[in-house]
Amino acid sequence: MRINAALLLFVYLPLTVSAATDSKASPHAVWDQRHKEGKQAYSAKNYSKSESLFLECFQLATSSVERGIAANDLGHALHNLNREREARVWFERALSIWREQPGYNDPAAHTAIGLADVLRSMGDYPGALKIQAEALAFQNISPETRAEILNAQADLVRETGSFELAFHLFSEALDTPGIPEQRRLDSLLGLGELSRHFGDHAKSVEYFQQAQELADQLHNGLLSAVAMRGLAQTYVEARTFARADPLYRRALSQLEAVRAPSQQIAITLACTGDLYRLEGKLALAEDAWSRTIAIEKSSLGENHPQVGLIMAQLAELYSSENRMELAETCARDSYRIMSSALGSNSAATGAALASVALVEARQQHLQDAAKHYETSLTIMRKANMANDTAMATILDRYAAVLKAMHRGREAKSAELEARNIQKNQNFLAGAAGTRH
């Protein structure tokens, strides 16, 4: 099972406060000037400079509001520098400040979104979900803020494999009255991804085309590229490879042109690797995935689930080329990373264990492969993935091992379960297509 990473990294525009005095020599005027310089540096992606300016703002602050803004913005600068532990400290400090200020629930919610994104980058998915739920419970937050939280929450639960819940949350965000086009764009991108996952390619194409049109209207090159990438992924799943390749190339070029976050480039490279694998261009697939892992390790760390995900794909590629030592190492590293980061009973862990079983099957270690497939299927069922397409793939591969072991009756049972899942997914695709 492929866990998509996040559709985008939201670039948060720091909060501002009105001048408290007309005196340019006042402490607030000095603070305000430094904060403006920090925002300019941040917008120019000079995060090191913005870090030092926001830290100076925190030290110059003469009010709780100024301290909250500076701490929040410093957290964002550090997050963009991949200094997640430090970013977490500053976001938590800002959140503590906002909670002590009556009427500042909107700034508190925005800080909580930033903190959750840091926790996600650190692999603490339960912590991120907890913070998002707390933010959603804040009283009197604006419709835009509520939609932003719903989109962030949907993106995170999708990454952990809860696709139905993610679709519901993205839909709720899209249906929120009075939200700006940016929030609608975020929701459309998420719904495009999930419609593709449910097998509704026509609806997925529709969502992504709407998203790209809206992104172009907003002059948002980053999200326009993300929409192009999503559209290409849908064409890949629909087996129209010729339409996907140029879209991936355009998306990657555009992401590089707008100096997109490295994670977005990594996602695009990973998707391009998927296309090359399906086209049988295995050397190109290996190159794309190797570049992806290098970026992921640098930006997220050696043991992040996104690294584990690509490791599993490399394991399958290497085993198909009979490079078994590399395949076994990648598969076991993927399983170790997923079980450590997401828990032994997560869907991603179950999928990673299935990768271990696949390599074992191709090594003709059938007893080990059967045992690991059985455990993988048990994990997937416990994780409420019994009707997911990934489950069907695992069942088909398990059936092949059972046949090789002359366990025909069990193999037929596994194949029947896989076919029933595919029928159910076809039904869900139709249901998803009627929602919007």
What are 18-67's pLDDT values in tens digits? 444 444 558 889 999 999 999 999 999 899 999 999 999 999 999 999 99
Task: Give the whole-number percent of the chain exceeding pLDDT 70.
Answer: 92
Query: Considering only CA atoms, which of 172, 69, 168 is closest in space to residue 431?
Result: 168
Token couple for 114: 């930033």
Query: Considering only CA atoms, which of 153, 159, 193 is closest in space to residue 6?
Result: 159
User: Does the residue 371 lie in any domain?
Assistant: yes
Residue that terminates a domain, selected from 141, 159, 186: 141
User: Does the residue 377 lie in any domain?
Assistant: yes
CB 170 within 8 A of CB 191: yes
pLDDT reading at 5 higher than 60: no
Token couple for 248: 């991936």
User: Does the residue 396 lie in any domain?
Assistant: yes
- Residue 137: CATH number of its domain: 1.25.40.10
pLDDT value of residue 20: 41
Q: How confident is the model at residue 17 (pLDDT cuts 50, 70, 90)?
A: very low
pLDDT reading at 6 higher than 50: no
CB 354 within 8 A of CB 397: yes
Question: How many CB atoms are closer than 10 A to CB 254?
Answer: 18
Residue that terminates a domain, selected from 87, 113, 141: 141
Query: Considering only CA atoms, which of 341, 389, 388, 351 is closest in space to residue 373?
Result: 351
Q: How many CA atoms lie within 13 A of 267 on its CB side?
A: 24
pLDDT value of residue 94: 96
Token couple for 98: 């906002």
CA–CA distance, 381 with 351 (Å, rounded to integer): 11
Amino acid found at 435: R
CA–CA distance, 383 with 102 (Å, rounded to integer): 40
CA–CA distance, 172 with 148 (Å, rounded to integer): 11
CB 383 within 8 A of CB 347: yes
User: Does the residue 230 lie in any domain?
Assistant: no
pLDDT value of residue 18: 42
CA–CA distance, 296 with 334 (Å, rounded to integer): 14
Q: Domain of 94?
A: 28-141
pLDDT average, residue stretch 348-371? 96
Which of the pair, 427 or 157, is modelled with greater confidence?
157
Token couple for 281: 């261009």
Question: Residue 293 — φ and ψ, nearest 5°?
Answer: -60, -40
Number of domains comprising the chain = 2
CB 394 within 8 A of CB 417: no
What are 122-161's pLDDT values in tens digits? 889 899 999 999 999 888 899 999 999 999 999 998 887 7
pLDDT value of residue 15: 42
Amino acid found at 387: N
Q: How many CA atoms lie within 13 A of 406 on its CB side?
A: 0
Residue that terminates a domain, selected from 141, 157, 173: 141
CA–CA distance, 181 with 220 (Å, rounded to integer): 11
Question: Residue 390 — φ and ψ, nearest 5°?
Answer: -65, -35
Residues 6+ apart with CB under 8 A from 24: none
Question: How is 277-290 classified by DSSP, letter by letter?
Answer: HHTT-HHHHHHHHH
CA triple 174-175-179, angle to 5 deg: 70
Query: Considering only CA atoms, which of 49, 50, 57, 52 is closest in space to residue 27?
Result: 57
User: Does the residue 43 lie in any domain?
Assistant: yes
pLDDT value of residue 24: 53
Residues 6+ apart with CB under 8 A from 267: 4, 5, 6, 229, 292
Amino acid found at 137: A
Residues 6+ apart with CB under 8 A from 174: 147, 184, 187, 188, 191, 436
- 3-state SS of the chain: helix, strand, coil percent to 5? 75, 0, 25
pLDDT value of residue 429: 55
User: Please, what is the average pLDDT of the chain?
Assistant: 89
User: Does the residue 347 lie in any domain?
Assistant: yes
Q: How confident is the model at residue 430 (pLDDT cuts 50, 70, 90)?
A: low
Q: How confident is the model at residue 387 (pLDDT cuts 50, 70, 90)?
A: confident
What are 266-311's pLDDT values in tens digits? 999 999 999 999 999 999 999 999 999 999 999 888 999 999 999 9
User: Does the residue 118 lie in any domain?
Assistant: yes
What are 181-234's pLDDT values in tens digits? 999 999 999 999 999 988 899 999 999 999 999 999 999 999 999 999 999 999
Token couple for 111: 């800080």
Q: Which helix (H) or strand (E) holds 339?
A: helix 324-342
pLDDT reading at 167 higher than 50: yes
User: Does the residue 233 lie in any domain?
Assistant: no
* Three-class DSSP category at 218: coil
pTM of whole model > 0.75?
no
What are 63-80's pLDDT values in tens digits? 999 999 999 999 999 999
